[in-house]
Structure 1
Amino acid sequence: MAIKRCRSSIVVTILLSSVSLYVCVCVCSSLLFTKVKLEEALFGPATALQTCEVMLQRWQSCYDVGRSSETDDSSSIPVAERAEVSPGGRKSSIHLTLPDFQDTSTGSLSPSSVALSRLEAALSEVSDISSSRRQGPAYIWTTLEHIWLQAGELFMADGRLKEAQFCIAEASAIFPNSHSVLLQRGRLAELRGQLDEAKGLYDEALAIHPTGERILVHMGRLLVKSGRVHLGEKVLRDAVQVHSTSHEAWSCLGEALQSRDAGQAPDCFLTALELEASCPIRPFTIVPREL
């Protein structure tokens, strides 16, 4: 009977710690992601990146609390990872921080060389911990993936492509076959002028998520940019058919039609303007159904 009570107590403790971690991660993903979008729109990507740094710290705090509340026997952390314990008996945690490869040295190396060396060192750390990041409930790591991808988008908007590459690599280390990761890898390749590689990555993303709004929009825009206007127009027509309220899809379709002097282009631009006027900073679907 005492053993049964003990086991029941352990189960309740695990469930409570899981619920606490779930609430913590959900609050982070709900409120702070919205804050990031507002800051980007009002103050620019540099300000929004500061909130991404806070999100990484909050995520790590929630993750560490969730791990420390588990007993060794009931922990879902692999034995190899549990063995990495400091002399004081505390389990080691993942260190999360945003990259900064901007040159601050006064040595003989050129800024690009310094940034590249820092990037290579950072990416080696990513590969070292990638295997451990797949442990635990999926929603925890999905949230972390979204934080890294959001940071990568902001770095790309700020023109800091090396930092963006680092963030996307972090997300890829968690879910390498995620359509969101493939989309961001494609965007990064496109910004670097590697159009064939970008198209291949968009194709992979579409194979996983054929109706993805942003994937269709970026694929259609890339095809138009590379001279395949009719194919790009077809992809964008598919986008507005599936996502009829997407102002970005309508705007890109208008650009494709305008490139061949089609008469429907102004109608597409007008539709895009009307939809953009009522478009929320983030989709309403992220609001919880029950508070």
Structure 2
Amino acid sequence: MFLAGSHGSTVDKNAYTMCVLTQFHRHLKRRDVYAEASARWRDPRGQLLDGADWVAAKGPALTDLQLPEHPETLLPEHALVLHLALRDVAARLGTDGVDVTVDEEGRLHVARLKAMPEPPSLVDLRKRVAAMLPRVDLPELLLEVMGRVPGFEEAFTSVAGGVSKLADFHISVAACLTASALNIGYAPVIKAGTAGLERDRLSHVAQNYLSAETFSLANAPLIEEQAKIGFARQLGGGLVAAIDGMRFVVPVPSIYTRPNRKFSAARGA
């Protein structure tokens, strides 16, 4: 960094700048310093609520994140998960395909396990199952579910809590759900001359009957109905995984399951 000159040692500006930037980035990653103008590198504690604001938001926030009010009940659970993960890694050391290194800062790095090749029997089974699945349109599937599970359609009440008395209401709900799920808008599902598929009807149903609250209520009867299916019960021992707001039975617990930060920071998401 220092260069000797005729007038003594001088500072190399380029080397000094690079050194400062390198150290700044290093301490940013370690959260020793913060960049307040950055959304990613600012101090997260600066966004914490306090006083009356926290009291007002605490209940809904803890419910949405599925967190207890006091961390004493949550920390032992995380400690157990960490212990099981470390014990599993330690048991795999020295085996083929397990690459473990320690960096200069003492951090442990475990390379991803290589996927096992799919056996021919699994490939054949996947093709046979795909061939047996019926090819139906999504709206037809939704209408069939509504016929089998009345509580699904009944969950879509108005913003005032009333039950719709519109004719062919189930058709309108199926069309709106299809347009929303496929992100195609209403144009492909509108059918002039059919009351349940008119543009005004679909717009009315979407604005007044489809909401986060009604979606949550509609999920409950579907989950209960799925629990009655013997095949679904055979898939696992009652454990539940939440994926994009939907819940599925999973076969076994796994220490490798983590929240997907791309979609949510909540547990199990």
TM-score class normalised by the smaller sequence: under 0.3
Larger radius of gyration between Structure 1 and Structure 2: 2
Please give the TM-score of this superposition, normalised by the length of structure 2.
Answer: 0.22
Flag the structure with higher strand content: 2
Flag the structure with higher helix content: 1
Please give the TM-score of this superposition, normalised by the length of structure 1.
Answer: 0.21
